[in-house]
């Protein structure tokens, strides 16, 4: 990404990007990307939490050379910001995850890829070049599916696996239910088939095929079933892999699954857990030797009424005490909010929905615009706050504002 690029005069903020994207996406896609669980209160609070804090700028400091880089996966990232894994990006733009990967490559920004992408992890790796990337993983009850995916990610040079740990069950997403969401043709869940014509390639969210041309002769092999427990025996999900049937895994536990995942990933890939929201679980993550934590509530799409990620962050940071990196996602819409998250102890932030809005707005160029807006805002914030290096950003630069408008130092 060039240091100087002309402004897109139609889109100067992430808020404007969201509005442009809303006009370009169909209702099913717009609702799927933007909705939270139940009433959406946690989704809303993820963003509102940042307004509780104000920045305390320092002045008369030489800020003529600002370094926004930070350590990441054994090297340096030009920004303390990455693109979070989000599913089925071809819904936003036909180029989907490949366009996002190219934008990340050109910006030098790490990309997270969803297991339920509409582009294979190999194709995303090819589009990424040498740019770092991570694979978001749902650990399936039948581990062989996950083992194969991990081996492919290792062969394709992914730096880490981010295990999603906040989906033992799926949150209730009412618009998704009302819209009877299905993945339209010609798109497919690309990572779970070697044959683009197979039943698994055509599987949609609920395990039914989006292609009815095969009639009843295809019904058995193209229908998935969720796992269940009869009180004595747990029966795992069956049929082609789909999000609703296979992604939720109520059997996941620290003692068994983290050790298995480390055995599968090491030494080529790091193992992170995504979905930590308490100090107790942060300590367990350290105990089970994960390489890092992402404080996340799944974009407000799981437990409605859960803490906003920014509100959960200080507790997690205090528990970890620097033993492993702590990242955060959820609700970031401006570069000043990246600054606030870092000041509260995050080492790095991940951006989700704004990237999808950029993709819907203008494909690869729209993602580049999103990253550029956030980059420029963050660098400007660093300078105006009186900092020139990311490690200088501490809680000394923040105050908290209570509901009465009174401020307090942290």
Q: Which of 10, 29, 108 is nearest to 356 (CA)?
A: 29
Q: Is the peptide bond before 169 cis (omega within 30 degrees of 0)?
A: no
Catalytic residue among 20, 145, 246, 298: 298
Q: Which of 83, 108, 102, 99 is nearest to 3 (CA)?
A: 108
Structure token digits, residue 52: 């509780």
Q: Which of 245, 262, 116, 108 is nearest to 188 (CA)?
A: 116
- Tell me the H-state helices in 132-202: 143-155, 174-178
Rg of the chain over Cα atoms, rounded to whole angstroms, equals 21
Q: What does the CA dihedral 110, 328, 23, 372 come to, rounded to 10 degrees? A: -50
Q: Are 139 and 111 in contact (CB under 8 A)?
A: no
Q: How far apart are CA 299 and CA 302, in angstroms?
A: 8
Structure token digits, residue 313: 């962050």
Q: Is the peptide bond before 267 cis (omega within 30 degrees of 0)?
A: yes
Structure token digits, residue 123: 């194709």
298 as an active site residue: the answer is: yes
102 three-class SS: helix
Structure token digits, residue 274: 């995504």
Which letter, b or e, does each residue of 95-124 get, where b requires 16 or more Cβ atoms within 10 Å of its Cβ? Answer: bbbbbbbbbbbbbbbbbbbbbbbbbbbebb
Active site residues: 298
């Amino acid at each position: 990404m060039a240091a100087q690029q002309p402004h897109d005069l139609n889109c100067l903020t992430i808020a404007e990007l969201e509005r442009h994207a809303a006009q370009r996406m169909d209702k099913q896609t717009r609702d799927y990307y933007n909705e939270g669980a139940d009433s959406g209160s946690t989704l809303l609070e993820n963003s509102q939490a940042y307004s509780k804090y104000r920045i305390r700028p320092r002045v008369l400091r030489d800020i003529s050379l600002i370094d926004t880089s930070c350590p990441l996966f054994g090297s340096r990232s030009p920004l303390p910001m990455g693109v979070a894994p989000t599913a089925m990006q071809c819904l936003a733009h036909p180029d989907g995850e490949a366009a996002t990967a190219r934008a990340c490559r050109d910006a030098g920004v790490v990309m997270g890829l969803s297991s339920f992408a509409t582009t294979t992890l190999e194709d995303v790796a090819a589009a990424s070049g040498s740019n770092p990337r991570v694979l978001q993983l749902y650990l399936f009850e039948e581990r062989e599916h996950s083992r194969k995916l991990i081996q492919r990610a290792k062969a394709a040079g992914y730096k880490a696996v981010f295990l999603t740990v906040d989906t033992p069950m799926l949150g209730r997403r009412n618009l998704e239910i009302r819209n009877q969401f299905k993945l339209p043709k010609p798109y497919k869940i690309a990572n779970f088939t070697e044959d683009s014509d197979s039943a698994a390639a055509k599987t949609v969210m609920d395990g039914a095929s989006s292609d009815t041309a095969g009639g009843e002769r295809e019904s058995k092999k193209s229908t998935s079933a969720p796992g269940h427990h009869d009180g004595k025996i747990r029966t795992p999900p069956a049929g082609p892999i789909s999000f609703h049937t296979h992604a939720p895994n109520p059997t996941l536990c620290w003692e068994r699954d983290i050790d298995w995942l480390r055995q599968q990933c090491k030494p080529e890939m790091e193992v992170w857990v995504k979905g930590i929201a308490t100090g107790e679980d942060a300590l367990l993550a350290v105990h089970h030797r994960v390489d890092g934590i992402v404080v996340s509530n799944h974009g407000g799409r799981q437990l409605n009424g859960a803490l906003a990620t920014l509100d959960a962050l200080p507790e997690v940071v205090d528990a970890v005490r620097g033993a492993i990196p702590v990242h955060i996602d959820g609700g970031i819409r401006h570069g000043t909010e990246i600054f606030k998250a870092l000041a509260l102890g995050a080492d790095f932030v991940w951006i989700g929905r704004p990237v999808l809005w950029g993709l819907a707005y203008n494909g690869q160029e729209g993602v580049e615009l999103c990253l550029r807006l956030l980059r420029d805002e963050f660098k400007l914030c660093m300078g105006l706050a009186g900092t020139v290096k990311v490690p200088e950003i501490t809680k000394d630069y923040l105050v908290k504002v209570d509901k009465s408008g009174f401020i307090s130092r942290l």
